[in-house]
Structure 1
Amino acid sequence: MPSMVLLAEYVSINGTDLSDYCRKAELTTKVEEKDVTTYGSAGWKELRGGLKSGELALEFLQDVSASALDSIMWPLLGTVVTFEVRTDQAVVGTSNPKYTGSVLINGWNPIQGSVGDEAKTSVSYPTSGAVSRATA
C-alpha cells in the first residue's frame, strides 16, 4: 500500500519561503453542489458542479524578531498574494507537484498561546481565483 510521511513541506507566501516557520499546511479545494433535479430525474437527485473555492490553512511557530515571520506577514494583512505549497522541498516533478494560486490575507494572529506553550499562530486564508497543480 503506497503511503508517505510529510517531513519537509514547502510553503511560500508572496514569494517568500516560510517553510522554516511552518509546521502544518493544508490546502483544501471544493466545488459548490448545484441541484438540477427535475421530475425527469425519476426520484433521484441530480447534481452539477458550481463555483470552485479553496482554503490554505497554516500553523506557524511564531518569530517576532526583525525580518522574521511577524514582520513578513503583518504588512500583507488585507492583500491578495500568491502562494505555493508542495509535499516536499525537493524540485517540482511528477512525484512532487506544486499547488499555486492566490490567497486573501484576511487575518493575522501575532500572539497566540498560554503559559508554557510554544509561540505559535494558526491561520486560514481563502483562495482568490484559480488554484493550479503543476509537475514542471
Structure 2
Amino acid sequence: MGKFILLDTRLFAPGADLSGASNKVELSTEIEDKDVTNYRSQGWKEVIGGLGSAEIAAEGQWEAGDPSLVDDASWSTLGGTGPYTVCPTDSTVGALAYFTNGLRTDYKVGDAVGEVAPWAGTVKSSWPLVRGQIAHPPGLARTATGTGTALQLGTIPTGKRLYAALHVLSAAGTGTPSITARIESGDGAFASPTTRLTFTAATAAGGQIARGDGAAVTDTHYRVAWTIAGTAPSFMFAVSLGIR
C-alpha cells in the first residue's frame, strides 16, 4: 500500500457502522518507557518498555433516532467496553484493519448556532491493539449458514494469540433469528478445519471480541464461519481478524 488520501476510512463501534457519520478518525498507540538507568549505563539514560495503550478518537456529524446512529450507539456504549475496528481505506475482505477491546470514555455533542451538529468521542484500549485484516465485509447480508474467505495470516508462535472482533450491524427475521460466528483455521483448502474461537449466539445488533490462549498454532489460513437459525433471517456483520 503506497501513499494515499483519506477518503473512505471505516469505523465500526460494537454494533454500529459509524463511517457515514464520521469525518475524522485518529488512532494512536504507545508503550510506556520505564527508567532503568544505572551506574553501568555509560552515562546514558536507559529505558525498557512498560505498559502499552491505544486510543481511538473520532468526530463527525450528529445523528439520532435509531440504534445504528451515532447518538444512540454512543449513549448505549458510554462507560462500557466492546470491540472497535478502524480501517484506513476500506472494509473489503483482506483490507488492513486495526482493532481492540476498548472502553468508551467520553462523548461530546453541540456547537454554535448555524453549524452542522457535531459529535466527538474517545475509546481507550482494554486489550492490545491488533493490526489485522477484514475477514467479512459489512455490506453483505447473510441469510444462511456459511463460511467466509480464507486469509493467510501465518502460524501463531507460542506466546502470541489469535484475535477476532465481530460487529453485528443488523438482524432481521422471525422466530428469534440468531447468528453464531466462529473462527476456523486450516490449510489453504480447509479440508479439516479447526475451530479456534467461538462467539456467543447473537440475536440483535451488538459487538463481541475474542482471543486465543497463547498456544502455538501451525495452521496458516483462517476464516470466519457462521451458523444462522430462525425464519427468514438476515444479518449484516463485519469481522476483523489478526495475530498479536
Both proteins in one fold, TM over 0.5: yes
2:118 is equivalent to residue 120 of structure 1: yes
- Could you tell me which residue of structure 2 aligns to residue 132 of structure 1? 130
Alignment of 1:1-136 (within 5 A): 2-67=2-67, 68-93=69-94, 96-109=95-108, 111-135=109-133, 136=151
Letter in 2 for 1:16: A
- Secondary structure at the aligned position of 2:75 is classed as helix
The verdict on how the C-alpha distance between 1:25 and 1:92 changes in structure 2, with shifts beyond 3 A counting, is farther
Which sections of structure 1, spanning at least 5 residues, go unmatched? none
Distance across 2 between alignment mates of 1:105 and 1:116: 29
Structure whose alpha-carbon radius of gyration is higher: 2
Q: What's the CA shift for 1:92?
A: 4.3
Query: Are the equivalent residues in 2 in contact too, given 1:92–1:98 (CA < 8 A)?
Result: no
Distance across 2 between alignment mates of 1:51 and 1:90: 30
Query: Are the equivalent residues in 2 in contact too, given 1:11–1:84 (CA < 8 A)?
Result: yes
Query: Are the equivalent residues in 2 in contact too, given 1:15–1:83 (CA < 8 A)?
Result: no
Percentage identity across paired residues of the two chains: 32
Q: RCO (CA 8 Å, sep 6+): is it higher in 1 or 2?
A: 1
Query: Are the equivalent residues in 2 in contact too, given 1:79–1:105 (CA < 8 A)?
Result: yes
Distance across 2 between alignment mates of 1:13 and 1:90: 14
- Secondary structure at the aligned position of 2:55 is classed as strand
The number of residues matched between the two structures is 132
TM-align CA RMSD: 1.5
Which sections of structure 2, spanning at least 5 residues, go unmatched? 134-150, 152-244
CA deviations on 1:44-103 (whole Å, 9 max, x unpaired) are 11111110001100012101234422112211111101100011224243xx41001111
Distance across 2 between alignment mates of 1:66 and 1:40: 62
Letter in 1 for 2:106: G
Distance across 1 between alignment mates of 2:72 and 2:15: 15
